[in-house]
Amino acid sequence: MNIIEYIVASIQYHWSRVVYNCWTKPVNTIRFNRWEKPKVLSLTETLQYIVDHKSSICRYGDGEFNIALGVAIGFQHLKNDMSERMNQVLQSDEENIMIAIPSILGDLSMFSDFSEHWWREYRLQEFPKLKKLLKSDRTYFNSLCTRFTSDYKVDQANKLIPIYRQIWDNRDVYIVEGEQTRIGVGNDLLDNAANIYRILAPAKNAYDAYDRIISSVKAHAPERSLVIIALGPTATIMAYDLAKMGYQALDLGHFDIQYEYHIRGIHTKEPIPGKYVNEAAAAGQTVDDSAIKDCRYKASIVDVIKNR
């Protein structure tokens, strides 16, 4: 970029901010306040519903909303029918499949300062799109049930972890996760599960290997098994499809990392040794495998799927 292009780009950026702050933001604030918003259940209500009904859950956040609108995100390019499928799942209404969105449409005071500011700006900027995607007369579950430490002023883990543990208590757990995600490794999160089996999948662009991952689950996990998925936006769609096949499928990305933050007393998104943390910038995405000392981890891996 030469100096002229830089100056033009700078003028365009600053002008766009003037337009946003002087027109778009005030107008969207008025429209947002007038919008009859859908209800979003609490973190506790969401997890307790999973325990009581053995339901599956598909979670939406800003990344999943973007994909539903046809916009790629950092670790998942748009592939084939992904946008269409993301919309299909969001609009679905199946008795045993919970559709969850972030609880950002009302009071934000419980969030950390960073999260409160981020969500406040997000909902105003994206309000017209959210209004198209969401149904005002629907009650959604809370997708932030997996972000219980770093996103809140007060750590919610002590309230939620006992409920989480009821989900897999004395059950076999089949985990479908990114290659270096390592849910429950190095901590006691899953210690009350009967057995743990892992299918490792690509940390980026997992949707490219979607059919092969589904085939692996069907080959290794008996029907009606508990399947925990941590594969970014791919998990949202996969949880829906596996639930339709008879599994209890839980899209629970981030919950192990949030538990790590809890037990370490961390309230910001930081790298965790031996685990891939996509939200901790480059440091969280450079993983030292030698940090993992748990010999049970390798023994739990039943399949490894890579992008071709």
Q: Is residue 101 part of a domain?
A: yes
**Residue 6 covered by a domain:** no
- Domain containing 268 equals 39-107+137-304
Looking at the predicted structure, is the pLDDT value of residue 291 above 80?
no
Q: How many domains does the chain have?
A: 1
Q: Is residue 126 part of a domain?
A: no
Instruction: Please tell me the predicted confidence (pLDDT) of residue 282.
Output: 53
Q: Is 8 inside any structural domain?
A: no
Distance CA 233, CA 95 (A): 22
**The dihedral formed by the CA atoms of 106, 72, 239 and 201, expressed in degrees to the nearest 10:** -130
- Using DSSP, state whether 270 is helix, strand or coil: coil
Residue 32: inside a domain: no
Q: Give per-residue pLDDT as tens, 118-147.
A: 999 999 999 899 999 999 999 999 999 999
Query: Domain for residue 24, yes or no?
Result: no
Burial track 58-68 (b if 16+ CB lie within 10 A, e otherwise)? bbbbbbbbbbb
In a domain, 293, yes or no: yes
Residue 16 — pLDDT band, cuts 50, 70, 90? confident
Classify residue 14: in a domain, yes or no: no
